[in-house]
Amino acid sequence: MKYGLVGASGRMGGEIQRIFAAHELCYTLDVTGETSEGVPEVLIDFSQPSALGTTIAVAGRYSCSLVLGTTGLSEAQLEEVKDLGRSVPVVQSFNFAAGVTLFKMILREFGPLFSDWDVEICETHHNKKKDAPSGTAILLRDALGRDCPAHSLRIGGVPGDHSVIFASEGEVFSLTHRAISRSVFAYGALRAAEFAAAAQPGFYSFEEVLTCRRKTS
């Protein structure tokens, strides 16, 4: 598979290149400039919201699939991404760890059973992360189906910890996901890229990747 990478010189860019070692990196874009040695089948972007316009333009130029893991996107930017999905396959998620998607599915299924319990979300990320609460915290809150406080810590080099804590007068029940390293997100991106390379145009979630639900022509 030939792939392109936005933010190639960043920490996540380096991790993606390591995990994608069996595939051919033929296009890169970052603050140092643009390089092209072929036509990518899939473009990967885990960079910054400010790069999204360029990313969409590149995906359109090459008519290639897009795997987008950028967090902190506005509603208007998400609409632009969905619009791109009309012409190419797009897989978008705020978190490409399989466990987080399972976490979301659990909350969606069983969260209503805690409707009369208090609930709050706690999340911790490295001190370079700019958005708070994280996109993952927002994703989990949306899956829960009700508004609740979200508490954010930005310390050290933590890749990502997320907890949803329920409490009644007599008990506390918590669910937690911990990313041990950034490689988990790169492995998820690889799975999404392989899915997108064979998919029809459309806007896909990572849940659809994990359950292999592709749109038919």
Catalytic residues: 125, 129
Q: For the packed helices 135-144 and 98-110, what is the interaxial angle rounded to 10 degrees? A: 30
Joined tokens for residue 191? 């799975």
Joined tokens for residue 92? 């978008």
**Alpha carbon distance 70, 74 (integer Å):** 11
| 3-state SS assignment for residue 202 | strand
DSSP 130: -
Beta-carbon contacts of 79 under 8 Å, excluding residues fewer than 6 positions away, are none
Burial class of residue 84 in the structure, from the number of CB atoms within 10 Å of its CB (0-12 exposed, 13-18 middle, 19+ buried): buried
β-bridge mates for residue 68, sequence order: 45, 92
- The single-letter code of the amino acid at 88 is V
